[in-house]
Amino acid sequence: MTGFTAKKAGSTALALLLLFYVGYQIYAAHFSRIRTESAYYFTASDSVQADVVALRKETVLKSPASGAVDYAVASGGKVAKGETVAYVYAGEKQAAARKQTEDVEGEIKQLQSLQSPGSTYAASPDAANGRICLQLTGLAGRINAGNLAGVSEDRDDLLYLLDEKQLVTGRVSNFNKRIAALQAQRKALAAQAGRPLGSVQSPASGYFTQTTDGLETAFDPSKALSYSSGDVRRMQSAAPSPVPGALGRICEDYDWYFLCVVPEQQVQEFRQLGGAPVSVRLPFASGTTVAATVAAVNRSAQGEAAVALQCKNMTPALAAVRKETAQIVLREYTGVRVSRKAVHYEQVTAKKKGADGKTATVRKDVPGVYAVHGGQLTFRQIFPKFSTDSYIICDPNPPEDELLTGSTVKLYDEVVVEGTDLYDGKVVE
């Protein structure tokens, strides 16, 4: 190859390389590979963890005699004023016989109801099978979830459906023989049980719990709003001790309190929430969440404060709670969640009407994200409601007079989280 030919080949190669470089730059300027994430609705919470103590108006129920206790109401059951919650028998055999009498009585009533005219719900074997399958599924789900509170009722309902199927399929025409046998059994059990030594009635309506811890009357619920952090700490450190001779307690009032101590750095935040609603999550009490209001914040000389959270609803699970570690949710924020990596600050120019009705040009640096729309990037202003190191919750309905872009970020927007040289209107793949 002559020198001239080599020089010409080198020039051609250089020109091709230069052409490729220029072409790539033009392509990169107009097209960009990016990575996106879908925006979605999310609820975040601003919460603090605290050890809470339940303070309620409670009455301890004492046994009227020494003997075996037969409860007529399950622990956590709702009772009316004057309702019998327990019987006391001379021995365990008598108490067990009384309990069996009650169970047999329930079965008799169920069979009598089932064979009454018009009481059979299922009109065909298929319908009966369907109801049985649904009941079995519900029962299995309850057991798998560890929720055994209603298993006894579910079992009774299942037995009812099985008996109903026997009637529907014609396997039996009635349950008269079974009812007669149960009535004879009931009579024998009643004779074996005899008369109780005594019974206990509820002094007020409320929830009955079969246990006591000695704290039922240790502190006065009427003083809940004035207790100090020292008082609350004494409640927290008090060791539970069953009341001698007691067979349970009644949680009388639907107005009750959770008390806790918060450190100095959180006192002002609770004071600002005075009278405002909060939520108390009890992860170790069946995952219960309780609605409450901040009723009092009593600061001590050391800086910490006793906080009284007033609650107005009661459930069987809550009636059994005394001391728990809780998450107190002070505020909740619901909106469109975007990654913090997606946020950019851009200068936006828009025409806006002022208070005087005149239109003026507004130029302002605002936070926003780039969303892919129709193969192009669109800068959308965001209005943060809550943020962490990794994400931001944005208001999906910001004030119109503050929105300077065509729209804000919306649900299911494909938001750019990785990319270079981003700008409004850029064509992307």
**Which residues on adjacent β-strands are paired with residue 368?**
344, 381
Helix/strand/coil percentages in the chain, nearest 5: 30, 35, 35
Give residue 409's domain range: 35-42+336-418
pLDDT score of 403? 93
421: left (phi over 0), alpha (psi -120 to 50) or beta: left
Are 224 and 328 in a shared domain?
yes
Q: How far apart are CA 107 and CA 118, in angstroms?
A: 19
Residues with pLDDT less than 70, the chain: 1-16, 19-32, 117-123, 145-150, 285-286
| pLDDT digits 0-9 by tens, 180-196 | 898 899 899 888 888 88
Instruction: Identify the pLDDT of residue 297.
Output: 95
Q: Give the per-residue pLDDT at 2.
A: 57
Same domain? For 172 and 93 the reply is yes
Backbone angles phi, psi at 175, to 5 degrees: -115, 30
Same structural domain, 349 and 302: no
pLDDT tens digits for range 240-260: 899 998 999 999 877 899 999
Tell me, what's the pLDDT at 359?
Answer: 84
Hey, which bits of 232-389 come out as E strands? 246-251, 256-262, 277-282, 288-299, 305-311, 323-339, 343-353, 359-373, 376-381, 384-387
Residue 18 has which token pair?
Answer: 């230069």
Q: Which stretches within 48-175 are classed as H helix?
A: 92-114, 125-144, 151-169
Q: Are residues 80 and 95 in the same domain?
A: no
Asked whether residue 354 falls in the same domain as residue 399, the answer is yes
Report if residue 244 sits inside a domain: yes
Please state the domain count of the chain. 4
pLDDT of residue 27: 53
Q: Are residues 356 and 306 in the same domain?
A: no
Which pLDDT score is estimated for 58? 93
Q: Beta 256-262 vs 305-311: how paired, if at all?
A: antiparallel
The predicted structure's pLDDT at residue 316: 84
Between CA 227 and CA 251 the distance in angstroms is 21
Which pLDDT belongs to residue 13? Answer: 64
pLDDT at position 117, please? 60
What confidence score (pLDDT) does residue 85 get? 94
Pair 142, 181 in one domain: yes
Same domain, 242 and 231: no
295 within a domain of the structure (yes/no): yes
Give the CATH number of the domain where residue 350 resides. 2.40.420
At residue 170, the pLDDT reads 73
